[in-house]
Amino acid sequence: MRPTLPRCVINPTYLAQRTRASENWTDAKARVRKSYREWLRASPEIQTMYSLNMPVSSIRTKVREQFERHRYVNQLKVVDVLLFQSHAEYQETLNYWKQLNHVMKYFRKEENPQVSLPKNFVSGFLEGRN
């Protein structure tokens, strides 16, 4: 008898959720906290999946920065869209649908402080950047 090898099953519905609108601000805040905690809990797995050469604490710090960017949003519909986008990113990241450069774009400043985005279109064009 030949030993059976474990199969890598691709499940496109892994981590899938139905999109829904928040009923009120209390519901929205609870959903944001849940999303934030999911990202924090997945940080060690993200580090190993993508073989990131950085500590888990820096990944968690970057997650916090991304959530803090939208701290003062005061429209419920905007919060719902941001939650949808956050979960889509989460699903794509943990399903390994991203490449390493897609994950590393969040760490561009930490990766190399000398490399920065061009200040305007013309200077970027002359440097050969998009």
Q: Name the residue with tokens 């050969």.
A: 128
Residue 120: the pLDDT is: 80
From 35, 14, 17, select the one nearest 83 (Cα to Cα). 35
Per the prediction, the chain carries an average pLDDT of: 85
pLDDT(130) > 60? no
Question: Whole-structure pTM over 0.95, yes or no?
Answer: no
Domain range annotation of the chain: 25-127
pLDDT(111) > 60? no
Tell me the average pLDDT across 69-86. 95
Residue 115: the pLDDT is: 62
Amino acid 124 reads G
Residue 9: the pLDDT is: 62
**Residues 81-94: pLDDT tens digits?**
999 999 999 999 99
